[in-house]
Amino acid sequence: MATDRKTVDYLVDQMAGAGAITARPMFGEYGVYCDGKMVAIIGDEQLFLKPTAGGRAAAGDAAEVPPYPGAKPYLLIAADRWEDREWLADLVRVTAAELPAPKPKPAKKSR
């Protein structure tokens, strides 16, 4: 089941306190970025956060499940936790802080 864009917009708004939050379409669903770092996937109307030590501690009892077949496990953030804007932003901020900066894109070759 594809995720409704309203769900994506809501989650991006809820996470806004963490930094510059954007969502981009990926493989029929959405990748979520915080300050340029991919921190989560929104798929099948669910929020999957990249697992980090700090994120696991902050997320408490969140299950680790793959967001799609063949993927590495992510933290599944229950929909009832989405309403707590401050908690969600803190969780994303802690996670992003532990992730590496994105690799620079190679320069295009000029002819």
Domains, in order of start, for the chain: 5-98 (3.30.1460.30)
What are the 10-residue block averages of pLDDT along the chain, 111 residues in total?
A: 90 97 92 96 97 96 94 96 96 96 80 65
In this prediction the pTM is 0.90
Q: At what angle do helices 85-98 and 5-15 cross, to 10 degrees?
A: 80
Largest CA distance in the chain: 54
pLDDT at 111: 65
pLDDT at 1: 61
β 46-49/21-26 pair status = unpaired
Other C-beta atoms lying within 10 Å of the C-beta of residue 52:
18
